[in-house]
Structure 1
Amino acid sequence: MHSFIFKLTNYNFVNTSKFTIIRRHFALFMEKEQIIPDVVKTKAEHKLEVKYGSHVVNEGNVLTPTQVKNSPVIKWHADDKDLFTLIMTDPDAPSREKPIYREWHHWLVVNIPGNNIKSGDEISQYIGSGPPKGTGLHRYVFLVYKQPGKIDISKLTKLTNKSGDGRGNFKAEKFANEHHLKPLVACNFFQAEWDDYVPEIYRQLGGH
């Protein structure tokens, strides 16, 4: 009996230690890639699981606008009784060197029960990556915050994916503070630069 208890305790300790190491690694990565402080000031509790079909988002890996043109499948640890906010944002608009439009947000969904995004209130419809030609790699950051309660969406402006109006100079941290969102439950990001699909996005947004 004592041996079983020791093994069980040791198993829990090893798993807790492993979780702590993974969390610490990702927190350091957020700082290294300047997600902290360019987008948020606090570390995420978990790494967010984001998949575009067979393409997995993983700590700043490079994907193409073609690969991310449709909204991804996203999962995080959640209780169905809790509500969450999902943000996808680009802090490098129009470029990382001169981010005068920081941030340009690509997706905003609030009042998500658990991690069932489709049951949440979509405030800004999904728009894939569309970095201007010659501006290099942009970071596309996904953030999930826990809400203290339901957000009154009547006070928020809904944005379609047919226009870029109202997307620029967004601040995820400011939005989180205004709505008392905490903690930052999960985060992840990828990078992308211009490819041949980007002009299609601009036509969709009415730019060309």
Structure 2
Amino acid sequence: MEAFKTNEIVPDVISTVPAKVLSVRFKSGKQVNLGEEIQPKYVTESPEVQYDSDPNSFYTLVFTDPDAPSRKNPIRREWHHWLVVNIPGSKVSEGEVLSEYIGSAPPQGSELHRYTFILYKQPQKLSFDEPRHSNTDPARGNFSTEKFAQKYNLGSPVAGNFYFAQWDESVPILRKKLGFD
């Protein structure tokens, strides 16, 4: 878990290292392994996320890119790619989706981006007043995982994981869908 500090996810996204590693596997077969590189073409669909949970509790899952549009110039930090709240136990598919999943789409030449998954255990089922985003909505920049967690009293992250990605040939298709190019 020291990788969260080494790669500056602490403090760029969260202030404390998550307690456990979050298991994240994409339908392409790619597994997220604390900072390994995965090409965007392998993360186009939402992943399977697994974690130890209390079946009587609710969880929040955040998937975010703190390096938008680049790590050297993160003026849209954080750009959130997926936000699911009120997840009953470990049943992510039964949670309330505030932002539909969007795969990695780093701009060409922006070098490696850190794509970060953070899981929180909620104090109870919550009402969220955040805007809802479809998977074609580009208005996701300048999100703050830390401020979101504070606003809803989520406490420290219970699990997390991250991977690196940079531009590949699949990115222009997604960026066009989002109206970026």
TM-score by length of 2: 0.97
Task: Compute the displacement of 1:137 (Å).
Answer: 0.5
Match of 1:170 in 2: 143
For 2:142, what is the secondary structure of its paired residue?
coil
For 1:105, what is the secondary structure of its paired residue?
strand
Aligned equivalents of 1:47, 1:182: Cα separation in 2:
17
Task: Compute the displacement of 1:203 (Å).
Answer: 1.8
The code of the aligned residue for 2:20 comes to: H
Aligned counterpart for 1:41 among listed residues 6, 15, 20: 15
Task: Compute the displacement of 1:201 (Å).
Answer: 0.6
Q: Say if 1:59 and 1:190, in contact at 8 Å, map to a contact too.
A: yes
Match of 2:162 in 1: 189
Q: Say if 1:57 and 1:188, in contact at 8 Å, map to a contact too.
A: yes
Match of 1:22 in 2: none
Match of 1:198 in 2: 171
Aligned equivalents of 1:145, 1:108: Cα separation in 2:
11
Matching of residue 137 in structure 1 with residue 103 in structure 2: no
Q: Say if 1:163 and 1:204, in contact at 8 Å, map to a contact too.
A: no
Q: Render the CA deviation track for 1:76-132: whole Å, top value 9, x for unaligned.
A: 110110100000000001111111111000000000011101110000000000000
Structure 1: gaps of 5 or more residues:
1-25
Aligned equivalents of 2:3, 2:83: Cα separation in 1:
24
Task: Compute the displacement of 1:182 (Å).
Answer: 2.1
The code of the aligned residue for 1:180 comes to: N
Matching of residue 76 in structure 1 with residue 80 in structure 2: no
The code of the aligned residue for 1:31 comes to: K
Q: Render the CA deviation track for 1:7-63: whole Å, top value 9, x for unaligned.
A: xxxxxxxxxxxxxxxxxxx1x221111111111001211001000132110011000
Matched residue count: 180
Matching of residue 105 in structure 1 with residue 47 in structure 2: no
State the 4+ residue runs in structure 1 displaced beyond 4 angstroms: none
Q: Say if 1:135 and 1:193, in contact at 8 Å, map to a contact too.
A: yes
**Larger RCO (CA under 8 A, 6+ residues apart):** 2
Aligned equivalents of 1:174, 1:207: Cα separation in 2:
26
Q: Say if 2:84 and 2:92, in contact at 8 Å, map to a contact too.
A: yes
The code of the aligned residue for 2:170 comes to: Y
RMSD across aligned positions (CA)? 0.9
Match of 1:94 in 2: 69
Structure number with larger C-alpha Rg: 1
Matching of residue 180 in structure 1 with residue 153 in structure 2: yes
Match of 2:124 in 1: 149
For 1:55, what is the secondary structure of its paired residue?
coil
Match of 2:97 in 1: 122
Aligned equivalents of 2:163, 2:176: Cα separation in 1:
24
Q: Say if 2:3 and 2:35, in contact at 8 Å, map to a contact too.
A: no
TM-score by length of 1: 0.84
Match of 1:66 in 2: 41
Task: Compute the displacement of 1:143 (Å).
Answer: 0.2
